[in-house]
Structures are given as structure tokens and as C-alpha cells.
Structure 1
Amino acid sequence: MTFVRQSGIKNKLLRRFSKEAFDLLAPLLEPIDLPVKHSLVLPRKPIEHVCFLESGLASMVAESSDGKSVEIRHIGREGIAGYPVVLGVDRTPNSAFMQVPGHGLQVATEDFVPILDHPGARQLLLRYVHTCELQLAHTALAAAKFNVHQRLARWLLMCHDRIDGNDLPLTHEFLALMLGVRRAGVTDELHILEGMHAIKSTRGNVRITDRNKLIEIAGGCYGVPEQEYDRLIENSPQPSTLPVHLNGNRHHDML
């Protein structure tokens, strides 16, 4: 059994668990190395583990029945892979795998689900699922209403939010998956952002040279889900500290 101290954890969700909920979960957490391409969720297969990422970057990918695929959201130290189990779902058509190597803390689904009986843990994780849905919604909005270099700026900002430092070890293959374009088109879009002095792109790496410029380029397609995460998780009281009715229901302002 591995003993994990909450004070030493980098995952933002785990850090927001109440002490009572974390003490229930901590003995179940196991450290895991997460190399590139490591599968966290397999499409249409039972979700056997939930993984709290401590470092690195994972992609959630949607795939059509004829094999077309696109990245729909990122998972980093702000969240967990396998979150559909929070909603009582045992599998999903989407996949999730590592794009940037790192490590995490995983727990078997059969051990994790009972933790959801703790009101504080359940409320925190439902808030997180809400922010995931909002990120998906804004991915759709970006694809429909913004041009490709704005969408690229958004994805790079989202990667930057989840990776330490200004160097993002992103391949053209990954960038093409993010944008839903051919790899040949990725180079052109990177050159646009370089011409605006927001990034410096080399083989297998994108360096953020001016984050504020990147935010300006992304415009309205970046920021709303991030603000909602900060409001509901990063800067809100721990759910277990909020009042509970006698019937176990939270007050109406929880979400």
C-alpha cells in the first residue's frame, strides 16, 4: 500500500478534496508512470481505472464510425482520466491516451466508485464534470466560429495551462489531431503564430514566447471554461464545508 500525502500532490482536484474524503481515497491511490501513447481509456471497453494526472498531458479523442478522429479535450493535472464513472457510466466510445509523458495516481474503478458516496467528493467531482462539458462545448464553438490559427492558439494555451514551463513538446501529428486538419496544414498555422511573435516552433516543440499575444489571437474561443474551473474548483470553498440539509441534499447554489 502506498501512502500519499495531500500536501505533496500536484493534481488540483485531489488538492481540493476535503480531508475526510481524501483520507478515504489516499490508501487506494497507486503511482503510475504515463509514457507517450499510454492508454488511459479504451473506446467501448470497461473503464478499469481512474487516473489523477500529476504531470504530462492526455488527449480525449472522438472517433467516427468510419475512422475519422479529432481531439476534443485535454486532461492534465487539473483533472482525471476516466471521469465518466462519476456519472455511473462504465465505458465510453471516446478514448484517452498520453500525448506528453508524465505520471499520475490511479485507483481501480471498483474502489473509486464507493468514494462517491462521500458528499464532498461527489460534489467536487460533479463540478469537475461540468467544467469538462463546458470545455467540450467551447471546442465545438471554436470549430464552428473561429479560424484555424485562433483554434491553434486556444489549444496551445490549454496545453500551456497544464505543462510546466514554456516549452510544449508537441508533435505535428498531435497538432493535426487537435485541429482536425492535415499535418501539412499545421506548419502554415504555426508560421502564422510565429509571424505574430506569439510562439517559436521547432521540430517536436513549440515554445510560448508571448502568452498574452496568444490570448489576444485566440480571442473569445479561450477563457470561459478556464474561468468556470477557477470559480467552481480552484477558488471555491471545499464542498464538504458547505451546509447540508437533513435529507443529505446540498443548498441550491452548489453549482
Structure 2
Amino acid sequence: MTFVRQSGIQNKLLRRFPEDAFDLLELEPIDLPVKHSLVLARKPIEHVCFLESGLASMVAESADGKSVEIRHIGREGIAGYPVVLGVDRSPNGAFMQVPGHGLQVATEDFLPILEHAEVRKLLLRYIHTCELQLAHTALAAAKFNVHQRLARWLLMCHDRIDSNDLPLTHEFLALMLGVRRASVTDELHILEGMHAIKSTRGNVRILDRDMLMEIAGGCYGVPEQEYERLIGDSPQPSTFRTHLNGNRHHHML
């Protein structure tokens, strides 16, 4: 097992683990290429994975095969979190959309760590922010137009990728928005016309984040603020190591 120092961790949850709990984790570094499955729908969750970089999608699929992305997972979170709630599998799957790497733990080795009160509290707070993100995805779908929803998703991707260039395909954008691929180009042109982004094949460059936030309006921000309140800006108990400050100054979630 590769030794991993907590001081070098990029995942925001792992950085906040109490030191005594972190030292018990058998973390296995793993490369996460595009399309790598983190959670298989309706299959036992054999590992949980703390993303260090890259971007994963959690996807809901109907009985007749229709699918839509319901949330993102980046270095703010963990894939396989249903096990925290005592669930061994989920109808929702999760897979990598932007390649990266992470640290995985076998579920059977991870579950005993939940007996640690501070770990359990931290992860339940994270799950609360996941539920809030899902709620605001539903709100955005019901009350906001497509280019506002696109602005929200791009902001959420930008929060998790350390670059203004987001390697996002039209296929992924269509999955995010729940629209046909042919509609994605029109929505990107709207944001380009507002000088918020520059879209090329397989890439969206963020030109003006503030403009994207203005376009997204009220469908972006509440879950992000709740994450920062409960996790990002929370005072750490003395058993936590001091975490490395990131170079980015906007909210992550």
C-alpha cells in the first residue's frame, strides 16, 4: 500500500479527516481515465473514491434507458457515498467525464472508519450538500431556461477543474442539460454572444466567470455557499492537520 501524506492531499474531505482516522485509511492511488466507472448502477459498491483531480458525473437512468446527469463529483467529494448511509448499491451510476486521479478505499475497510464521530459528522454534512445540489438541479430544470442551466453547470465544472479550459464534449453537455446534442451548439452560441465563454471542439474556455454567474442567476450559489459554511470554512478540531490553501478564490462545489 502506497503511503499517502495528509498534508499533500487535494481532496477537501480527506484534508479535514481527523489525523487518527486518516492514518487508519488504506488509501490506494488510482488513475481515473475518461469513462472509468466509479459506481456501477445496481451493483455492489466495492470501493469509495476520493477524487484528487478530474470530474465525475452521477447519472440517473430511467427504466427505458433515458439518462441525465444529476450532479458532479470533484475533489470536494467522494464517489460511492451511499455506503455512508448504510446502502450497499444504488440505481444511479457514476463515471469519469474529465480524466484525473484519486484515492480509493475498499468499502469493507472504509465502513469501520464511520464509527469515528468526527468522520461521520463530516461525511453526513457532505451528503447534506449533495442533497441540496440535487434539489437545486431540480429547481433549475423547472424554473430556469436552458442557457441559464448551462451557465450553472459550467460554473460547477469550473469549480472543480484548475483551468479556464474545460475539456467538455457536446455529448457530455447534452447529458448535463438533458437535451439533444443538436441543441447544445445553440446554447453555447448564446453564452458566446454574451462573451462569457469560447467554445471549440471538445473544449469550453471560460472568458468571464462573473458574466456566467450573472447569467446563471439564482440557480447557482446556494449549495456552494452551504458547502463552504459546513465544510470549506469550518474550523478544524485540533486532531485535524492544517490543510493546504488552494490558489483559487471562488467557492468549490
Shorter chain as normaliser: what TM range?
over 0.9
Displacement, 1:239? 6.1
Is 2:93 the counterpart of 1:91? no
Displacement, 1:30? 0.2
Any idea what SS the aligned residue of 1:12 has? coil
- Cα deviation, 1:8-50, whole Å, max 9, x if unaligned, reads 010011011111221122xx00000000000000000000000
The match for 1:65 is: 63
- Partner AA of 1:21 in structure 2: A
The match for 1:234 is: 232
Is 2:21 the counterpart of 1:16? no
Residue 205 of structure 1, aligned match among 203, 206, 230: 203
In structure 2, distance between residues paired with 1:95 and 1:52: 16
Task: Report the CA distance shift for 1:95/1:240 in structure 2 as closer, same or farther (over 3 A).
Answer: farther
Displacement, 1:96? 0.1
In structure 1, distance between residues paired with 2:61 and 2:20: 39
The match for 1:167 is: 165
Displacement, 1:125? 0.4
Residue 29 of structure 1, aligned match among 27, 30, 34: 27
In structure 2, distance between residues paired with 1:136 and 1:113: 25
- Which aligned runs of 4 or more in structure 1 are off by greater than 2 angstroms? 237-241
In structure 2, distance between residues paired with 1:10 and 1:115: 20
The match for 2:75 is: 77
The match for 1:108 is: 106
- Partner AA of 1:63 in structure 2: E
With normalisation by structure 2, the TM-score equals 0.93
Q: How does 1:237-248 map to 2 (within 5 A)?
A: 237-238=235-236
In structure 1, distance between residues paired with 2:163 and 2:75: 14
- Partner AA of 1:148 in structure 2: V
Any idea what SS the aligned residue of 1:73 has? strand
Larger proportion of helix: 1
The two structures, once aligned, show a CA RMSD in angstroms of 1.2
Any idea what SS the aligned residue of 1:99 has? strand
Q: Do the aligned residues in 2 keep the contact of 1:157 with 1:215 (CA within 8 Å)?
A: yes
In structure 2, distance between residues paired with 1:165 and 1:96: 23
Gaps of 5+ in 2: 240-253
With normalisation by structure 1, the TM-score equals 0.92
Task: Report the CA distance shift for 1:141/1:240 in structure 2 as closer, same or farther (over 3 A).
Answer: farther
In structure 2, distance between residues paired with 1:32 and 1:48: 14
Displacement, 1:240? 7.6
Any idea what SS the aligned residue of 1:175 has? helix
The match for 2:183 is: 185
The match for 1:117 is: 115
- Cα deviation, 1:75-108, whole Å, max 9, x if unaligned, reads 0000000000010000000000000000000000
Any idea what SS the aligned residue of 1:98 has? strand
- Partner AA of 2:185 in structure 1: T
The match for 1:252 is: none
The match for 1:221 is: 219
Q: Do the aligned residues in 2 keep the contact of 1:17 with 1:238 (CA within 8 Å)?
A: no
- Partner AA of 1:134 in structure 2: L
Any idea what SS the aligned residue of 1:24 has? coil
Residue 143 of structure 1, aligned match among 141, 144, 165: 141
